[in-house]
Structures are given as structure tokens and as C-alpha cells.
Amino acid sequence: MNLNNAEFFACFGTPEQLPENDLPEICFSGRSNVGKSSLINKLLGRKAIARVSSTPGKTTTINFFKAADIYLVDLPGYGYAKVTPKERMRWDSLMNAYFSGRRNIKLCFQLLDARRTLSGDDERMVNFLISRNIPFAVVLTKCDKLNKTELAEKMNYWQALFENTPVFPFSALKGTGKEEILNAIDSYIE
């Protein structure tokens, strides 16, 4: 799949703004700072179509990018400690609206930092996807920060947690895993 002719489509900050959509959508979920926007940039072959920041909580809206008649959807991150109860409620209602709206979500990439272990928030997110019957695959981000042995250990850990789910190691820095992820998108779109 070639997603090189992408354009920014729109961003949505409240449930009412979310448009109904029947084009296939691939969405990206994960804690703040895990690397969602960086992954989207890499897949689209762009440096900064999605905004990347070293401060967590950068993406607070649902951002749609259009490429090859599909949407890539950058979801706002969770698990950011400094969020107010009000912002947390906004996040909840926005995410609920997104996943319960009439749309054609083909696959959700659940991003997890390869170096870490599954957090309570990650587990809640995964269970939410399962409860909504959203097909998902796991992307392990920041793999460039692990050496070969550490990566092999972590792959075992994550693959054991997600037995029947594809798990893709990825590095936005080096591009590792990009082709495999694009192929997965292809297979879920068809």
C-alpha cells in the first residue's frame, strides 16, 4: 500500500463535530507520548503532517489524514498524569463517540512502548477495543532504544500477552517495521 499522497483532512475536538464516514478507517491508539503521530508520519512518508512533541498530551483532538481513499486517524493519547478531570471527561466522550459512531473502522493499531510493560490504562483500552469488536493489531514503538537481546525478550513478553494478535516491532527513527505495517493495512482494507 502506498500512502505517499496524504493530506490533512480535519481535526475534531467534540463528539458533535465527528462526521459520519463510510470510507475505510485505520486508527491509532495508545498512551500519550508512545509515538502515534510519529508512526503516522512514517507511514505517510512525511516529516510532520501529524504533530510530534516530546511533551506528552500533544494530540488532544481526533485528527484525520486522507490517503489512497482511506483515513488514518490519530487518536488522542491517554494516561497523561497532568490531565484535569474535565479534560479526562472530554477524552472519554470523544473516544466513545468515535468508536460508537457509524463508521467503517477496519483496524485499530494499539501502540505500546516496546520497553515497558502493559499499564492499567493500556489494558482498559485493549479491553474497550475488544468489547466494541474493533479488530486490532499491536505496534511496539521505540524499538531502536533496545538492543537485539532486549528486543527479543520484549517480543516474547508482548507476544505472550497478545497470543492471537499480530505484534509489529517498529521504530520511527529507523523505519523498522514500516513495510509490515503497510502490508497489514492492505490486508485489512480488502
Ligand X SMILES: Nc1nc2c(ncn2[C@@H]2O[C@H](COP(=O)(O)OP(=O)(O)OP(=O)(O)O)[C@@H](O)[C@H]2O)c(=O)[nH]1
Joined grid coordinates for residue 165? 494478535
- For residues 50 and 73, the answer to whether their CB atoms sit within 8 Å is no
- For residues 56 and 32, the answer to whether their CB atoms sit within 8 Å is yes
Report the nearest approach of Mg ion to the CB of residue 132 (Å).
22
Residues 134-163 that bind Mg ion (CB under 5 A): none
Does 33 interact with Mg ion (rule: CB under 5 A)?
no
- For residues 109 and 181, the answer to whether their CB atoms sit within 8 Å is yes
Report the nearest approach of ligand X to the CB of residue 164 (Å).
25
Interface contacts to ligand X, rule CB under 6 A: 30, 32-38, 52-54, 56-59, 77, 141-142, 144-145, 171-173
- Near Mg ion by CB under 5 A: residue from 29, 37, 110, 141: 37
Strands, E assignment, 7-81: 7-12, 24-29, 62-67, 70-74
Q: Which does 154 bind (CB under 5 to 8 A by kind): ligand X, Mg ion, none?
A: none
Q: Which residues share a beta bridge with 74? A: 28, 63
- Near Mg ion by CB under 5 A: residue from 29, 33, 59, 63: 59
